[in-house]
Structure formats: structure tokens, C-alpha cells
Amino acid sequence: MFLYLLILLAYQSSRWIPKNRRLKFQIVNAMFAGLVLVPQLYVLTRPKSARYCRRPLLSNLVASVALSIVATGFSVVFTVLDAVSQGLWASCHVFGLMSFGQGVCSAILTLTAASCAITTPELYEVSFCIVVASVLSTAALAVKGGLWLTKRRQQ
């Protein structure tokens, strides 16, 4: 859910800025996407990450990198377009479900891979960071959804 939250934050933040002044924000958005992607790619290319681990943490990291690239694309498109179509929003929400599923899989794999903390420490630490980010962002989106539902019921 972390990546989905980043997309929503990029969209909401870009709406506060006039359209003719969004270029600086788009550059900052791309740099922030790099901050999310670079550590994952670094750990992915480390020779230590290819060591044996009973759980498929490396495959999970590859999936996380792929989803991070898609999230970067969504955030760039959402900040460039002035009016986002319903189809694009629907695909973003489907991506959010995929991001939630990847977060759940990461949590299960990481919490059951204590031995991998010894054999592949960087891979385990990145997986643990992904799990923490997923849990925190899921909680934030649950609070946001609860507030939205409360507001809708009052109308």
C-alpha cells in the first residue's frame, strides 16, 4: 500500500500548485521516486542477495521493484494531466489492490524468514522496511477511508 499512498500523495500535492508551475514539483516527484527505487535496486544487484534463503525474498524484491516503476509512472502521469480519466483512476485503484497484496506477501515472507537475516542481511532488511512502510501506509489509508465514509454518511 506504500506505493499506492505515494501516488495519491503526489496527485493531491500537485493539485495545490498551479498547472503552469508544476515542473519543479514533477522534478521533486521524480527524485523522490528515485529515493524509493535506488535502495531496492542496490540490494537487488548486490552479490550477497543471490545467496540461498529459504523464503523467496529476492523474488519479492523483484516484484516490489516492478511495482515501484509502475507507481512512478502513475505519479508522473497524475501530476502531468489536469483532468484524470475514470479509467486511469480505476487502473490506479487496481494497482492499489496489487500493492496491498504485495505488502501482505512481503509481511508473510519476511516474518517467516528469520534465518535469512543471517544469510542475506541486506535483502532481509529491505524486506523488513517494505513491510513497515506497507503497514504504516495501510493504517493511514484506513484512517483516511474511515474519515471519508464518516463524511459521506453525514451528507
Domain holding 35, by residue range, is 2-154
How buried is 9 (Cβ within 10 angstroms: 0-12 exposed, 13-18 middle, 19+ buried)?
Answer: middle
Residues 6+ apart with CB under 8 A from 72: 30, 33, 36, 37
Closest CA to 53 of 130, 2, 133, 126: 126
pLDDT by residue (tens digit) across 95-151?
A: 999 999 999 999 999 999 888 888 888 899 999 999 999 999 999 999 999 998 998
Q: Looking at the 3D structure of the chain, how many domains does it have?
A: 1
Summarize pLDDT for 37-52 with one digit per residue, the tens.
999 999 988 887 777 7
Q: Which of 96, 142, 139 is nearest to 1 (CA)?
A: 96
What are 56-87's pLDDT values in tens digits? 888 999 999 999 999 999 998 988 888 889 99
